[in-house]
Structure 1
């Protein structure tokens, strides 16, 4: 094994490796060796990294070209997908070819969706460049785009051929984006791996133990995905904090970073579990204290009535039933269906007050 490089296998019907470490983007040529053609989907700010990926592929004998899409959540629209499909057609992409998603979570979500739908499915290799992408969006095979009705309501399950999480990319990541990614890391600590909580409490910046935190978060996700690719059982627990988070993102027209919304969603879910008698107030306080120490928000002021309406459109809902992932103790996630309105209102009150209150 290369020093400093971790390899996590995501098992299942289509197993693949998540490779984590400095400089691992160079393995792109190995992963796609023998592939006739590949397209590297990226946003404008990563033009240089995409150019390097194209060069790596060309040196491996792969005819590669870049396809540029908008930055951030603006990439995840039907209009952008249509434009990319037209570009794939112009380039003559066949079922023997591949798509590479290079960028943050929005680009890897889009690239996976494009690969899942082009010719009813071609290979995709994800090269996440953000912490959020490395620990969440690029791993697990969920792909999707947004609509006016909500986030990721259109998509497909399409496992990648590989994920190359090159930690060198994090050096240039803005601190706010790094913190946003930590929300998905701490989530993994709450639902499955207490060591993640200990590491973040010792260093709330996450910078001292970044590689270990990434590896642990990826392992939590890999374990869940291997058992439940299609999100009908254990994988649902990875949605801890996301029901409110996705509603906040939608109400804010995606002006909030995903991890910031997840941070508030985690506090909300913990408070909801307290109201339901499933989690101790001590464990809920640990949520709020640690998330605040990490520099992430623990409160949100918004239209509660509208948020509830959006939550009912969440892809985790079943019919008219609201469903939340909650904890029965740290590391013991479960599902709470149709909670009492009084519990919801009390949990909302706990996160809608100013943080200085």
Structure 2
């Protein structure tokens, strides 16, 4: 992980699934190749591009031009930007619009956007005509390293995040890193939380590399492609072992049990972006681990210090607006998908890069911990 990355040809990471393997292609300027790559994968297919209003203004014309150059007919479905589009109402509208565009079972959906669009469009693809193929073209750092890879798709319920969805793998992930150049700094930071997560959960050397090189990742040098590729390789390896999260894929949820509850408490709004919630959630997971004697306070402090240095929130008090109380957070944590028969499952740590699945956590311990954190 400490080798000096070099610029050059796109980096290709294989997601090895029996009969359904696909490539993650990482590099600059790849959106221009979208049509060519789709034509090679699915000759003759038509495409519906699902995107949001912000991404459409920046990148939709280039995507459509690439498809047209390859002789691919396309239509567009544009939804409002933001987490609110991961809803039943927007899911229904996108389904109806894609059907109206006469997208058939042998055609494709292209998810052009961040994690919200990838989750929404992928879920539409999983359900439409009982399943059609889709391509992920992630336009945020968070989507490029995490949500576009692995086949988790879905929408939110009023009871919690991602509670309605399906596993549906893409046939290609095209991660054009030049699209990140125009991201607002806050969005870039939120995505970086998921990059740091890979080091914190399973690769101490990568985390140390990030501590030394994170500024270059933000600047857009070859370090950016390196960090994305390392993150994608780790996720691809875990997904190949455990596609449907019956085992160690759950490790990818480091910080998510706390983080999803915080997102829900903030109303799935721009008060708290997903990556920001995961940053706070990871700090809480390390602090909870240290409280239980599982890792050293020094490791917990180191994780928090790096995330704070990048400019990410690390405390519940950092969330603007009304602070949720411990009772409300426990209620929301109880809706987490990893809850089994009412007992809580957390991803905890023995140190940097040493996460593990901790089942059967007593809810009273978590409640007491949150009261301490909220003081």
What TM-score does the superposition give when structure 2 sets the normalisation length?
Answer: 0.90
Distance (Å, rounded) in 1 between the aligned partners of 2:46 and 2:214 = 43
Note the alpha carbon deviations across 1:188-228, whole angstroms, 9 max, x for none: 00112223312221144432522211111111111110111
1:40 aligns with 2:40: no
1:233 aligns with 2:247: yes
Distance (Å, rounded) in 2 between the aligned partners of 1:211 and 1:32 = 22
The aligned residue for residue 210 of structure 1 is: 224
Q: What is the aligned counterpart of 1:20 among 15, 26, 31?
A: 26
Does the Cα contact within 8 Å between 2:29 and 2:176 map onto a contact in 1? yes
* Partner SS, residue 32 of structure 1: helix
The aligned residue for residue 313 of structure 2 is: 297
* Partner SS, residue 88 of structure 1: helix
* Partner SS, residue 250 of structure 2: helix
1:158 aligns with 2:164: no
Distance (Å, rounded) in 2 between the aligned partners of 1:346 and 1:297 = 22
* Partner SS, residue 229 of structure 1: coil
* Partner SS, residue 316 of structure 2: coil
Q: What is the aligned counterpart of 1:269 among 285, 291, 311?
A: 285
Distance (Å, rounded) in 2 between the aligned partners of 1:325 and 1:31 = 37
The aligned residue for residue 29 of structure 1 is: 35
Does the Cα contact within 8 Å between 1:322 and 1:339 map onto a contact in 2? yes
Residue ranges of structure 2 left out of the alignment (5+ in a row): 1-6, 318-323
Matches within 5 A, 1:336-351: 336-341=358-363, 343-345=365-367, 347-349=369-371, 351=373
Deviation at 1:348, TM superposition (A): 2.3
Distance (Å, rounded) in 2 between the aligned partners of 1:309 and 1:133 = 28
Tell me which moved more, 203-212 or 158-167.
Answer: 203-212
1:102 aligns with 2:118: no
Deviation at 1:349, TM superposition (A): 4.8
Deviation at 1:9, TM superposition (A): 0.5
1:306 aligns with 2:317: no
Distance (Å, rounded) in 1 between the aligned partners of 2:151 and 2:144 = 13
Note the alpha carbon deviations across 1:264-303, whole angstroms, 9 max, x for none: 1001111111222221212111111111111111111421
Does the Cα contact within 8 Å between 1:300 and 1:352 map onto a contact in 2? yes
Matches within 5 A, 1:40-189: 40-47=49-56, 48-189=58-199
Distance (Å, rounded) in 2 between the aligned partners of 1:236 and 1:36 = 35
Deviation at 1:30, TM superposition (A): 2.6
Distance (Å, rounded) in 2 between the aligned partners of 1:319 and 1:63 = 49
The aligned residue for residue 4 of structure 2 is: none
Deviation at 1:339, TM superposition (A): 2.6
Matches within 5 A, 1:187-202: 187-202=197-212
Deviation at 1:139, TM superposition (A): 0.8
Distance (Å, rounded) in 1 between the aligned partners of 2:339 and 2:361 = 13
Matches within 5 A, 1:221-260: 221-255=235-269, 256-260=272-276
The aligned residue for residue 3 of structure 1 is: 8
Distance (Å, rounded) in 1 between the aligned partners of 2:234 and 2:365 = 29
Residue ranges of structure 1 left out of the alignment (5+ in a row): none
Tell me which moved more, 191-200 or 203-212.
Answer: 203-212
Please provide the CA RMSD for this pair: 1.7
What TM-score does the superposition give when structure 1 sets the normalisation length?
Answer: 0.95
Matches within 5 A, 1:309-320: 309-320=331-342
Q: What count of residue pairs does the alignment treat as equivalent?
A: 353
* Partner SS, residue 361 of structure 2: coil
Distance (Å, rounded) in 1 between the aligned partners of 2:305 and 2:367 = 21
Note the alpha carbon deviations across 1:14-46, whole angstroms, 9 max, x for none: 111101110112232133211331001011112
